[in-house]
Amino acid sequence: MWVYNAVFVIILFEDLWLAEFKSVDSHCMLAREILNKHISRPFEPNQLVNLCKENSGSESNDCCNQESLKNIVFFGASEFTEHWRIFWLNISQNLREDARYLQDYMLGSLKLTLQSFHDLFVNSYGYNYDQNKDFVEAFFHELESYMLGNRQDIASLVDDFFDGLLIRALHVMLFVKTEPDSIVANCVASKLRPLKPFDQAPEIIRFMATRAFPPPRILRNSLLLGDHVVQFLSKITVNDSCINEWIKLRYCNLCSGVIQPLICRHSCFSRLSTCFLLWTAFDKYWLSFIDQVVRVAERLKDSKIFPQVIRPLQIHISDAIMNLQTILFRLDQSDELFNNCLLENSKENQSFLSRTDFRQRRHPKFVFVDHDTLVQDYKHPYIYGNYDILKSWADSIRNKYLSVRKPFSNIIKYFCSEDLLRDSKKSSDHLCWTGDRLTHTSNITVNLIENESFLKINPMAVHVIKDLQHITEMMQSVIQNNSDPHYVPIKEESRIQSIDNVTVFLPLPSYSTTNPWLRS
């Protein structure tokens, strides 16, 4: 359970120390007063209350009694866990918000295109289209379902649409009124399919769709999966060794009567990199994941990608219908195709002949659409305006996530940042606290170690890494091969908790490339 009133106490400690003490001399009496004036806090049984007396150095350890040690353990553990949670929730919030933005963009674009489709076809085909607009709406709903991951295979979706469009168009063009008429029209459709009644339109749209639709879909899927992984990481129980090392760095100085010392940066890196050794190998998998996210985002700026494709979608469909009109206009009743369909059905369908003189297409009731006029009249600047916004958003993806390509390396930098080390003066000529003693500051650089073997045996790590590797390979396949992989469902997707509702100990640094502790 989170006990947020501890935050106020910790902030009070910081303010008190900063205001009243400007040296690192021993002030055991005052240290005791600071520790003992606060009531005892509950602590977990497995948390050591004597850890400040372990590995004692040259400093005296007489300032802390059992109760004050309990307070130190509680404050230190709460502070560490909260900073851990805040670090991951910042990344999680970015991932979730970007996934939501992309979803809104995709669905908004489809909605605008559907409305534009309606306007175009109502003006062109009038009543005939109005009677069949449910079919077009169903197609766009299927596109929406595909983009959200509720159905797979964009190519088959396009093929199904044109199969249905052929039936619908023939029913209109052949003036189907009865069930027998419908049977013959369906027969005609089956015989027309091998003849490419829509010319190249189905192939064009299928090619366009398989190149344009999978990238934004897989990007949204990846952002949500990344959020799922980060949410998992924010909730894992950090091993006690990391918390204990943090307590030694931040609070054990009080037991030695050392007030508000600078914490040695190399000691912070050394202690935390050792206790995080179990997870730092995770970084290389996350790095590959983020690199592919950036590549897919760059793909969204391609001229053949989603927003550019949905614009001419209805133009290609109109071309297809006009090609079918042309084919039917050239046929007559003696054509073998229609005779075969009539012979294959019962004699009662002979009434069909009197209504299917295809030269009736000259009747003004049926509208032929002039393609040049149609394209000239179709101007929707919102597509290009929104596209510019999408390109700007894609650029922001690079700047936002390249700074967190190595999260476990970054979180060590975060915990060892100047604010948390009390290094406000950035001086190198004074003493610093190592976690058990005061020593002269140094510029020792500690290399972070990776422990690949742990990740291979830890079940939680194996599961998370497997998901990351899978979605990373899928993104790579989309970019390199224009593939259309299946959507990866996100199980037990949790709702993000707004960072505004998280109590913080210190102001959070902005996640930008200007922050040196976030640079890879």
* DSSP codes, 410-450: HHHHHHTSHHHHT-SS--SSSEEE-SSSEEE------PPP-
State yes or no: pLDDT of 456 exceeds 80: no
Helical (H) or strand (E) element with 375: helix 371-377
Residue 26 has phi, psi (to 5 degrees) of: -75, 130
| Angle (nearest 5°) at CA 127 between 126 and 133 | 90
Tell me which of 34-38, 249-253, 432-436 is least confident: 34-38
Q: Read off the tokens for 28.
A: 């055991």
| Side chain identity at residue 124, one-letter code | S
Percent of all residues in the chain with a pLDDT value above 90, rounded to a whole number: 28
Three-state DSSP at 367 gives coil
Tell me the pLDDT band of 311, cut-offs 50, 70 and 90.
low
Q: Which residue has the tokens 């007396």?
A: 53
Residue 391 and residue 303: Cα distance in Å, rounded?
A: 11
pLDDT for the residue 480: 93
Return d(Cα 370, Cα 318) in angstroms, integer: 10
Distances (CA, A) of 365 to 83, 122, 126, 128, 317: 72, 14, 10, 10, 21
Average pLDDT, the chain: 75
Q: Is the pLDDT of residue 30 over 80?
A: no
Q: Are 210 and 477 in contact (CB under 8 A)?
A: no
Q: What is the pTM of this model?
A: 0.78
Question: Phi, psi at residue 375, to the nearest 5°?
Answer: -65, -40
When mean pLDDT is compared over 310-324, 410-424, 462-476, the highest value belongs to 462-476
Residue 11 predicted with pLDDT over 80? no
Question: CA quadruple 407, 409, 410, 415: dihedral positive or negative?
Answer: positive
The rounded distance, in Å, linking the Cα atoms of 265 and 419 is 11
SS3 262: coil
Confidence of residue 358 (pLDDT cuts 50, 70, 90): very low
220-266 pLDDT, tens digit each: 999 999 999 999 888 877 778 889 999 999 988 888 888 878 899 89
Q: Can you tell me the distance from the alpha carbon of 19 to that of 394, in angstroms, rounded to the nearest whole number?
A: 46
* CA-closest candidate to residue 500, choices 68, 9, 97: 97
| pLDDT given at position 350 | 53
Instruction: Give the separation between CA 81 and CA 242, rounded to whole angstroms.
Output: 10
